[in-house]
């Protein structure tokens, strides 16, 4: 498969309902992580490209029909059509997604279907946003009400790990609220975003300027963050990147609204009454899904002393099975590669430093798999150093660290209270008291009980502490893209 067999305009940007050439001269190579081979050389977006996209989105919001003429019902129907087109083309979307990320094709098909469901969910909210009326009985001369309005132009900056669904998590609620958007996907994985633009364009689903796509790196993203006509930035990426966006947004000509979905170091807790085999399966899935390139990966595990040995044997056996089923074929492999050589080096660096500094023991894995592409063996580490780098820092690879066995859940909760992240956590138990204690005391945006990484369109997702600001998915997400105006009349 070649990129040009799916994308009609593989080296152009989508601005104001048209495919145009980028104005810069620098290029970026898009590689297939399963082989390391370049599949497309794409122009990087520059400030002029971002400015053109902002102008198109600004004009579309202020004078176009999407916000000024369409009713919520009309926006709903348009987004439902987008969802249907995604469903109808899910296999093409999956092919391009697996080509640029290396993830198993089954995962990519599921993600395309999830994207369609997210559009359907937010389509259902498009005609249900409104204000409130107040008639205070203490003052009959006053009539007061609120108006809910779209923010305006939204800049969306996404990460490489889930290119298609991370974009849709932002696009769908922003459009449902009546905004116009500019999407800047990761420079490593822009192809599925361009395919989404192609599907919208070819089927004439949205008015010009409502949805724009600018591939590129830091320059294109910075131009969005600094532009005075951009009203909000929604960013998914690293903590460092999020803080840079936050600071730049505050220093831009207009103080922008911000949503940041950042990193995590999410703990998985296995209690003594857990179904050990099932818990080990879930824990491996939590750690190794998407090759660990998941902000909410269950990358460290606390296991109760009574079942520690049994659980560890099960976890290692499952990890070995995953490794034995690895191939370089996205249609058969149990796990995909890391995104590029830099990420491979980063992940291996964490493991090798842990070994060198006597901070962890490798129980299985801990090295590159094969010589083709950027594969790394699923890795289980055991560490008794609670301050170790592999215990505290986000690795973003197929590496899970098991901590010393515990006897008291309160000790685990106390330890995790010092976690600088707060994106997610999980617990495996049927003990109602333990569940209630864990849910109440853990400072994390998502708590999973006897499951992990369950992400539904109707459930909000976001973090505490360094894991971010704001929420995606759920009814909370559409409110991230709305403003409330108060109107008071006196007669």
Q: Is 97 a catalytic residue?
A: no
The pair of structure tokens assigned to 71 is 């009713």
Residue count of the chain, please give it: 491
Best CA proximity match to 130, nearest among 146, 152, 151: 146
Q: Are 448 and 270 in contact (CB under 8 A)?
A: no
Q: Are 363 and 394 in contact (CB under 8 A)?
A: no
Distance CA 270, CA 307 (A): 9
- SS3 for 136-201 is CCCCCCEEEEEEEEECCEEEEECCCCCHHHHHHHHHHHHHHCCCEEEEECCCCCCHHHHHHHHHHH
Q: Are 85 and 203 in contact (CB under 8 A)?
A: yes
Read off the DSSP letter of residue 406. B
Q: Quick one: CA torsion of 331, 333, 336, 341, rounded to 10 degrees?
A: -100
329 alpha-carbon distance from chain centroid: 25
Largest CA distance in the chain: 79
Q: Are 23 and 51 in contact (CB under 8 A)?
A: no
Which CA distances in Å does 50 have to 216, 406, 439?
9, 52, 43
Q: Which residues pair with 303 in a beta bridge?
A: 270
Which residues neighbour 275 within 8 Å (Cβ) at sequence distance 6 or greater? 428
Residue 293 phi, psi (nearest 5): -85, 65
Q: Quick one: CA torsion of 195, 196, 199, 200, rounded to 10 degrees?
A: -140
25, with CB counted inside 10 A (0-12, 13-18, 19+), is exposed
Distance CA 254, CA 24 (A): 26
Sign of CA dihedral 26, 31, 37, 42: negative
Exactly one of 97, 111, 117, 261 is catalytic; name it. 261
381, with CB counted inside 10 A (0-12, 13-18, 19+), is buried
Best CA proximity match to 464, nearest among 248, 336, 296: 296
Which residues are tagged catalytic? 261
């Amino acid at each position: 498969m070649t990129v040009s067999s799916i994308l009609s305009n593989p080296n152009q940007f989508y601005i104001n309902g048209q495919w145009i050439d980028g104005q810069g001269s620098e290029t970026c190579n898009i590689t297939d992580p399963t082989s390391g081979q370049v599949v497309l050389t794409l122009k990087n977006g520059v400030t002029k490209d971002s400015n053109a996209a902002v102008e198109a989105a600004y004009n579309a919001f202020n004078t176009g029909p999407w916000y000024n003429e369409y009713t919520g019902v009309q926006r709903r129907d348009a987004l439902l059509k987008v969802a249907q087109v995604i469903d109808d083309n899910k296999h093409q979307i999956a092919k391009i997604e697996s080509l640029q990320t290396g993830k198993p094709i089954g995962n990519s098909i599921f993600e395309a279907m999830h994207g369609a469901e997210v559009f359907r969910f937010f389509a259902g909210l498009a005609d249900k946003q409104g204000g409130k009326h107040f008639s205070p009985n203490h003052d009959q001369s006053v009539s007061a009400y609120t108006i809910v309005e779209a923010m305006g132009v939204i800049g969306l900056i996404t990460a490489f790990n889930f290119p298609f669904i991370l974009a849709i998590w932002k696009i769908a609620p922003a459009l449902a609220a009546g905004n116009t958007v500019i999407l800047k996907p990761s420079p490593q994985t822009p192809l599925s975003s361009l395919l989404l633009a192609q599907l919208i364009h070819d089927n004439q689903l949205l008015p010009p300027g409502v949805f724009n796509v600018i591939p590129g790196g830091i320059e294109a993203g910075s131009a969005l963050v600094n532009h005075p006509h951009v009203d909000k930035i929604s960013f998914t990426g690293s903590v460092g990147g999020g803080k840079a966006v936050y600071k730049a947004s505050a220093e831009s000509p207009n103080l922008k609204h911000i949503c940041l979905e950042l990193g995590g170091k999410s703990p998985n807790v296995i209690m003594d009454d857990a179904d050990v085999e099932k818990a080990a399966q879930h824990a491996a899935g939590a750690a190794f899904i998407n090759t660990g390139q998941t902000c909410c990966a269950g990358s460290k595990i606390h296991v109760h002393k009574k079942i520690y040995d049994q659980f560890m044997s099960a976890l290692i056996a499952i990890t070995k099975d995953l490794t034995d089923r690895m191939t370089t074929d996205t249609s058969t492999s149990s796990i995909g590669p890391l995104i590029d050589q830099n990420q491979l080096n980063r992940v291996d660096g964490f493991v090798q430093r842990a070994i060198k500094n006597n901070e962890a023991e490798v129980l299985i894995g801990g090295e590159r798999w094969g010589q083709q592409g950027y594969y790394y063996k699923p890795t289980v580490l055991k560490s008794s150093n609670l301050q170790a780098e592999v215990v505290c820092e986000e690795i973003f690879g197929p590496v899970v660290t098991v901590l010393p066995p515990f006897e008291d859940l309160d000790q685990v909760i106390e330890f995790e209270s010092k976690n600088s992240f707060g994106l997610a956590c999980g617990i495996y138990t049927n003990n109602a008291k333990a569940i209630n204690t864990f849910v109440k005391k853990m400072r994390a945006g998502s708590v999973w009980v006897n499951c992990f990484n369950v992400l539904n369109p109707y459930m909000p997702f976001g973090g505490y502490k360094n894991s971010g600001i704001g929420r995606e998915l759920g009814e909370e997400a559409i409110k991230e893209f709305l403003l409330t105006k108060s109107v008071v009349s006196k007669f």
